[in-house]
Amino acid sequence: MASKSHLSFAERAVNHPSPLTRRLFEIAEQKSTNIVLSADLTSTAELLKIADDLGPYIAVLKTHIDIIDDFSRKTTDGLVELSKKHNFLIFEDRKFIDIGNTVQKQYRGGALRIHEWAHIVNAAVLPGPGVIQALEETIKTHNVTDRGVLILAEMTSKGSLAVGSYTEASVAIAKQYPSTVMGFVCTKALSGLSSDATDEEDFVVFTTGVNMASKGDALGQQYQTPTTAMAGGSDFLIAGRGIYANNDPVKAAEAYRKAGWDAYQDRIGKKAE
């Protein structure tokens, strides 16, 4: 996979084939942030409050909508309104992993109606390429240009089995669906995995397990810092408890934003302000 990580997001936006990826890059440049807030709060009021308070510091808000105790249309209508107010994208961390027929029902319907409000969703390719085909079909049926998918190519938890040939297969499947797959959730750039790299490809690397104060948790989570993640080739940094569980989430969001953006500017050869 050809890496474009030495270029600025603005440069990468110019000829990028995906309108949603272009929009993501533009948001990052406009707001000087590559932070994805993992807003793992469990009530609608808490979720909407953190989204409103931290919206100015983030490029993307990541949700686990199925952990909300009092989920209703108000939850997702509120998120959509805040995404417009603060100009961020919404990423539902649904991790689709089933046969295509089931995945389409999960993406389109049920109580959550994820495709109606989430710009980005993710999927694991354990079931094979059909999982991505199913998501792509739903997106194309609805004729929208602001929906995309990230493939879970690696995981941050101890003992993860998403390594080696599984990660390589994730890259190969991404290449089959270039208009739908924006990139990967992974711990580092996946360069060198593929021998038929082309210059046209520009997948985005989202890295989870980012924390400035902790090395992990009691349930196997393993963290790296914004600086090490960016040095490893990440583009967007996903941080949860490091920000929302801090005594001062606004101050923490600004600290993560600055650390991520400084590291990004270093990488593209611009002096950090």
Binding residues for substrate: 40, 62, 156, 221, 240-241
Toward ligand 5BU, which CB reaches closer, 146 or 217? 217
Identity of the amino acid at 152: L
| Choice from 21, 83, 170, 221 touching ligand 5BU (CB under 6 A) | 221
What CA–CA distance (Å, rounded) separates 151 from 223?
A: 20
| Choice from 241, 250, 254, 258 touching ligand 5BU (CB under 6 A) | 241
Q: How far is the CB of 249 from ligand 5BU (least distance, A)?
A: 12
| Choice from 24, 50, 155, 230 touching ligand 5BU (CB under 6 A) | 155
- Backbone φ and ψ for 205, nearest 5 degrees, come out as -105, 115
For the question of residue 95 being annotated catalytic, the response is: yes
The three-point CA angle 71-47-66 to 5° equals 40
The mark string for 172-211 relative to ligand 5BU (x by CB under 6 A, - otherwise) is: -------------x----------------------xx-x
For the question of residue 52 being annotated catalytic, the response is: no
What CA–CA distance (Å, rounded) separates 260 from 237?
A: 7
Residue 93 touching ligand 5BU (CB under 6 A): yes
Residue 238 touching ligand 5BU (CB under 6 A): yes
What CA–CA distance (Å, rounded) separates 119 from 107?
A: 12
Q: How far is the CB of 162 from ligand 5BU (least distance, A)?
A: 8
For the question of residue 98 being annotated catalytic, the response is: yes
Closest listed residue to residue 82, CA positions, set 64, 58, 106, 66:
58
Identity of the amino acid at 169: A
- Cα dihedral across residues 127, 129, 134, 139: positive or negative: positive
Toward ligand 5BU, which CB reaches closer, 244 or 264? 244
Q: In this structure, what is the dihedral angle of CA atoms 103, 107, 112, 116, given to the nearest 10 degrees?
A: -170
Identity of the amino acid at 46: E
If you write DSSP's letter for every residue of 76-111 in order, what string do you get?
Answer: HHHHHHHHHHHT-EEEEEEEE-S-HHHHHHHHH-TT
Q: Which residue is nearest to ligand 5BU (CB)?
A: 240
| Choice from 8, 18, 156, 234 touching ligand 5BU (CB under 6 A) | 156
The residue from 98, 175, 258, 266 that is catalytic is 98
Binding footprint of ligand 5BU on the chain (CB under 6 A): 38, 40, 64, 93, 152, 155-156, 185, 208-209, 211, 221, 238-242
Q: Which residues are catalytic?
A: 93, 95, 98
